[in-house]
């Protein structure tokens, strides 16, 4: 298979984690006889520095002309504390989502036994936690009219949803639920918001077309609590843009590490794959960031290309590193491996270069010479 991948490294740790994902994709290509052709493009603070525009036209063109997009992270501290900044890195990502109509953001939340001790939850609550947050990504308050009155005393952000915007993401969520444990939870605030009442009405209207899926509804404040109290109850959570942003971050911490979670944003044209963590500027260039979110995003990308065997091998390699203690500083601050070493190990595993019997005593000593 030959595929074109647009690579948006972005800011902060974006380039170094994306580099590891590319390493792994190249190992997959070599092992399975595929060819991936990469084109780098700019977005975020680096794009503002280079062109004045957080999303240059050229980037949109390259993305539209590619089979998938691999994205690192964007954001820079010099914009975070400056509410008056006219141009912001985040505008690049929002504009790209809109330009490519990436209306569904899929964030799987799965737990790894090797990381349970890092979770703020007790391990009993974590067993078997495995759900997906389906977040609407191109509508709602994020893209509504924004206004600041001339006297700067009043600000407005409008939240609008059209029925067709709710339907297209909901269809995808229902279909995912059908392939999983067949439960769909709509998270909204229908006791207060008109848009939420429309979401509920539309999902209720669609439910009979998916008779095998059990649908339930939760107010977002309750959902925020339930994700902590009893995360095992969830299979597919469907929600609007803003609620999805908040609860997916909340859900991610229960797994023990934000650095590990991948995501896919899909729509009618090229799909985009990115770790859910941010640009973590304090760690940029130090080779200490966790590359697993990016590597697992490349597994989602492989699945999107219709390569489930390849995706499964990447996930197996990731689990192998975790269970054998090959982890970055966020997971083990004392005995840690570098970002690039983890990328090398996973690439080697994918290429079958790791012998089946690594010496257990060396693993325990965390010797990088075990192989
Ligand atoms: C995310 C991020 C973005 C969002 C920011 C960077 C605009 O937090 O992808 O979740 O709010 O959607
Ligand atoms: Mn977010």
List the Cα angle 136/141/146 in 5-degree steps.
145
Q: Cβ(250) to ligand 1 under 6 A? A: no
Specify burial of residue 92 (Cβ count, 10 A radius: 0-12, 13-18, 19+): buried
Strands 130-136 and 236-239: parallel
Say if residues 354 and 342 touch (Cβ distance below 8 Å). Answer: no
Closest C-alpha residue for ligand 1 atom 11:
245
- Ligand 1 pocket residue status of 90, Cβ below 6 Å: yes
Other C-beta atoms within 10 Å of 350: how many? Answer: 25
Mean pLDDT (whole number) for 36-50: 97
pLDDT at 222: 98
Q: Is 67 in the pocket of ligand 1 (CB under 6 A)?
A: no
Q: What integer pLDDT is reported at residue 365 of this predicted model?
A: 54
Question: What CATH class has 1-103+259-371?
Answer: alpha beta
Tell me how far the alpha carbon of residue 245 lies from the centroid of ligand 1, in angstroms.
Answer: 7
CB 131 within 8 A of CB 107: no
Asked whether residue 46 carries a pLDDT value surpassing 70, the answer given is yes
The number of the ligand nearest the C-alpha atom of 107 reads 1
Q: pLDDT tens, 136-168?
A: 999 999 999 999 999 999 999 999 999 999 999
Domain with CATH 3.40.718.10 in the chain: 1-103+259-371, 120-255
Is the distance from CB of 73 to CB of 275 less than 8 angstroms? yes
What is the average per-residue pLDDT within 56-65? Answer: 98
Is the CB of residue 172 less than 8 Å from the CB of residue 104? yes
186-243 pLDDT, tens digit each = 999 999 999 999 999 999 999 999 999 999 999 999 999 999 999 999 999 999 999 9
Q: Whose CA is nearest to atom 10 of ligand 1?
A: 245
User: Does the structure show a pLDDT above 50 at 20?
Assistant: yes
Domain 120-255, CATH:
3.40.718.10
Question: Does residue 363 surpass a pLDDT of 60?
Answer: no
User: Which region holds residue 238: left if phi is over 0, alpha if psi is between -120 and 50, else beta?
Assistant: beta
Ligand 1 near 106 CB (within 6 A)? no
What pLDDT, on the 0 to 100 scale, is given for residue 167?
98
**Residue 367: per-residue pLDDT:** 47
| Mean of per-residue pLDDT scores for the chain | 94
């Amino acid at each position: 298979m030959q595929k074109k991948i647009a690579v948006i490294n972005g800011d902060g740790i974006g380039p170094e984690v994306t580099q590891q994902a590319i390493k792994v994709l190249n190992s997959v290509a070599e092992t399975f006889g595929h060819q991936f052709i990469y084109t780098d493009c700019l977005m975020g603070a680096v794009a503002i520095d280079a062109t004045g525009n957080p999303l240059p036209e050229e980037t949109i063109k390259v993305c539209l002309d590619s089979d998938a997009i691999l994205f690192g992270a964007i954001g820079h501290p010099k914009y975070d504390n400056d509410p008056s900044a006219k141009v912001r890195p985040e505008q690049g990502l929002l504009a790209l989502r809109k330009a490519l109509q990436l209306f569904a953001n899929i964030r799987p939340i799965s737990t790894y036994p090797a990381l349970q001790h890092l979770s703020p939850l007790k391990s009993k609550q974590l067993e078997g936690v495995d759900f997906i947050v389906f977040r609407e990504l191109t509508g709602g308050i994020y893209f509504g009219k924004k206004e600041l009155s001339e006297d700067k005393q009043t600000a407005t952000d409008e939240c609008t949803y059209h029925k067709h915007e709710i339907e297209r993401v909901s269809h995808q969520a229902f279909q995912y639920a059908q392939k999983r444990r067949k439960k769909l939870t709509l998270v909204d605030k229908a006791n207060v918001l008109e848009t939420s009442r429309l979401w509920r009405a539309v999902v209720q209207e669609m439910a009979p077309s998916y008779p095998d899926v059990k649908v339930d509804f939760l107010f977002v404040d309750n959902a925020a609590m339930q994700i902590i109290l009893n995360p095992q109850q969830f299979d597919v959570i469907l929600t609007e843009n803003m609620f999805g942003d908040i609860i997916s971050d909340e859900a991610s911490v229960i797994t023990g590490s934000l650095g590990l979670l991948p995501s896919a944003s899909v729509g009618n044209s090229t799909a985009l794959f990115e770790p859910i963590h941010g640009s973590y500027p304090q760690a940029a260039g130090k080779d200490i960031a966790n590359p697993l979110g990016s590597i697992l995003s490349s597994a989602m990308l492989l699945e999107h290309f219709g390569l489930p065997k390849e995706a499964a091998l990447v996930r197996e390699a990731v689990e192998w590193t975790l269970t054998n203690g090959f982890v970055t500083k966020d997971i083990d601050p004392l005995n840690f491996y570098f970002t690039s070493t983890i990328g090398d190990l996973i690439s080697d595993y994918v290429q079958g270069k790791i012998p089946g019997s690594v010496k257990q005593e060396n693993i325990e000593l965390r010797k990088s010479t075990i192989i």
